[in-house]
Amino acid sequence: MSHTAVLIVGAGPTGLALACELARRGVDFRIIDEHAGPQPLTKAAALHARALEYLSDFDAAERVLGEGHRVDLLQLRTGHRDRLGVDFRVLEGETAFPHMIDLPQHRTEQILLDRLRELGASPDRETALTGLSTRSDSVQATLRGPNGTETVDADYLIGSDGVRSTVRESTGLAYEGADYADPWVLCDAVIDWPLPRNEMTFSADTDGIFGVFPLPGTGAYRIAYTQRRTASGEPIEPSIADAQAAMSRTGVEGTIRSAGQFSTFSLAHKQAPRYQVGRVLLAGDAGHVHTPFGGQGLNLGIGDAANLGWKLAEVCAGRAPATLLDTYEPERHRVARQVVRMTHLGAEAMLLRADPRRHVRDAVFGILRGTPYARALAARRLSQLAHSYRGSGGAVLGGAGDRLPDPPIFDGVQGIDTRLHRIASSERHTLLMTGMDASELPRAADIDARLRGDWETPVDTVVLTDDWRARTSAPEGVRIVLDRERQAGPLHTGHPRAVLVRPDHHTGYEGPVDYVRISEYMGLTSLARK
């Protein structure tokens, strides 16, 4: 029997992202997958800002940007008319990625696989989980691979093995929710399409939905539509002619020149009731499934991996007890529940067909279209920048839990253009103190020394200030970031304030520069004292 600290079952985007997080932190793990390599199937394509931020943390985002196709606008059309456009460029001041990137899932997987290999690890391919048993201190997994059957003893087992998760079924966590009546057709195609290539379009009329998503390559698009039926109600076999007929739902004169393999699939809005049973945890589609409205699924799984990755690393390194992992479920389960609900409402609204309520929907879309605040809020929600752990009972204290903004900043000490997420570490906690002038730096140094002396978890201490005098009086162990133009905006308060930023760039504590309060967060989060 072999042993590993973490066994990841499933090498899709979620499993590979988690593996990259663990590998760069030096955690002992194995990742297995039943397939020989990434499957070149027509699956997810959209990568939103929050997922790109996570990928940037372990140096994979630039490759996605280089290979993918940038999309700035999500356009909703009903009755052959533009109703509501969500423009992600309004996010430019708060993220380095104010857009979507469309890239076929198998290419995203290959980029993550390449990065994982650079970090010194790779999946065990053609290896399936055939059984597991949980104990109080470990999980025993039976694997069937190219060389036969083996038993692995793991401290923790992560199920990232998709909608038909063997891990979820083995733990008895059946999905809760419902299926949709409409089957869908999916295909990658070459289309003469007159709308701009920076635009993703969902169109609906009384016959159903037709989605058009630009992909890398000349005239390359992904199409997804509710399957057409005969007069007797029988599903029509997908073909180029069928897809062309369904395109009439858009009211846009496009021509499908060629198409790859068509696939049909059923949709559901479901979620596992829990994400954790003892030392077994679920991530990605193993824990939640929903419609493709807004391209949320792949991004949600990468967010699961980022949340779970740093917590597993702290526990496996002995810097936090196992109870830190108990914060994963309340944080991510609630976020997924919100996404499942949002995508369900969006799909239901677009599928009203001849329902008289469609006129109310169109009127609401018109109101939202004329309200810049509402459009910006929609962009933040769809990009997943608005996801918060406030009130989740997770690894946050009081009113903390929001994602740390990522404005561009000129660091007057280093003399470089940077962003706040580069200043706040993605590998350890960062104590970010603002509203301090040079005279208060000894206070920052004292808190830094006490954190280093009292806690196992490493914390970087950063003072963000507009006081030029602080540049020449930095205490040992404290980094000074001189933000003379106050580009960090709301973080510049008129009084000293502390923000303890977790490695996933969500805030764990926000409040007074008070060591007792900050250490209260450390204790509530179950980080280990020395």
Query: Domains of the chain (ranges plus CATH)?
Result: 2-67+103-174+270-348+356-382 (3.50.50.60), 408-524 (3.40.30.10)
CB neighbour class for 417 (10 Å; exposed up to 12, middle 13-18, buried from 19): exposed
Would you say residue 31 has pLDDT above 70? yes
Would you say residue 1 has pLDDT above 90? no
Q: Which amino acid is at 204?
A: A
Which residue do the tokens 């030096």 mark?
Answer: 26
- Give the pLDDT score at 401: 95
Residue 288: partners with Cβ closer than 8 Å, 6 or more residues away: 270, 271, 272, 300, 336, 339, 340
Q: Angle at which helices 515-524 and 441-454 pack, to 10 degrees? A: 30
pLDDT in tens, 39-86: 887 778 999 999 999 999 999 999 999 999 999 999 999 999 999 999
Chain-wide mean pLDDT for the chain? 95
Q: Are 102 and 216 in contact (CB under 8 A)?
A: yes
pLDDT in tens, 317-351: 999 989 999 999 999 999 999 999 999 999 999 99
- Give the pLDDT score at 293: 86
pLDDT in tens, 433-489: 999 999 999 999 999 999 999 998 899 999 999 999 998 888 988 999 999 999 998
522 falls in which pLDDT band (50, 70, 90)? confident
pLDDT in tens, 259-302: 999 999 888 999 999 999 999 999 999 999 998 888 899 999 99
Would you say residue 37 has pLDDT above 70? yes
Alpha carbon distance 139, 5 (integer Å): 10
Alpha carbon distance 157, 149 (integer Å): 18
Range with lowest mean pLDDT among 125-139, 144-158, 356-370, 387-401: 387-401
415: left (phi over 0), alpha (psi -120 to 50) or beta: left
pLDDT in tens, 234-265: 999 999 999 999 999 999 999 999 999 999 98
Would you say residue 391 has pLDDT above 70? yes
The residue among 271, 509, 316 whose CA lies nearest residue 394 is 509
526 falls in which pLDDT band (50, 70, 90)? low
Torsion of CA 439, 416, 115, 328, to 10 degrees: 30
Alpha carbon distance 441, 437 (integer Å): 7
Bridge partner list, 184: 226, 265
